[in-house]
Amino acid sequence: MTFTLRPAIRIQTPMIAALAGPSKGGKTYSALRLATGMAQGGKIIMINTEGPRGHQYADSFKYDACDLTEPFSMKRYEEAIKFVAESNPAVVIIDSTSHAHEG
């Protein structure tokens, strides 16, 4: 088997990152900090499944929220992602996907 080493080249692919940690561990705050840097002044949208908790940083960060409520199916997540993509955001945060697994 032959391996090669070459310089990395940025191709037009979106970056996908996941944050994991305990409840109240700072995932939402960290996601908003990362998104702010990544967006470089562009629009940030949060698909929010956390109810009012998803808006707790509205005084510290500029972002739009798309509140996703039950039922938390993968189909509903897909619909929300397509909906927010129509506004051409620089960054989309999904907070959180654990609801999809719980149904």
Instruction: At 73, give phi and psi (nearest 5°).
Output: -95, 160
Q: What is the pTM of this model?
A: 0.83
Q: What is the DSSP letter of 56?
A: T
Write out pLDDT tens, residues 16-61. Answer: 899 999 988 999 999 999 999 999 999 999 999 988 888 999 999 9
Does residue 97 register a pLDDT over 90?
Answer: no
Q: How much of the chain is in helix, strand and coil states, percent to nearest 5?
A: 35, 15, 50
Residue 102: the pLDDT is 58
pLDDT digits (tens, 9 = 90+) for 1-25: 799 999 999 888 888 899 999 988 9
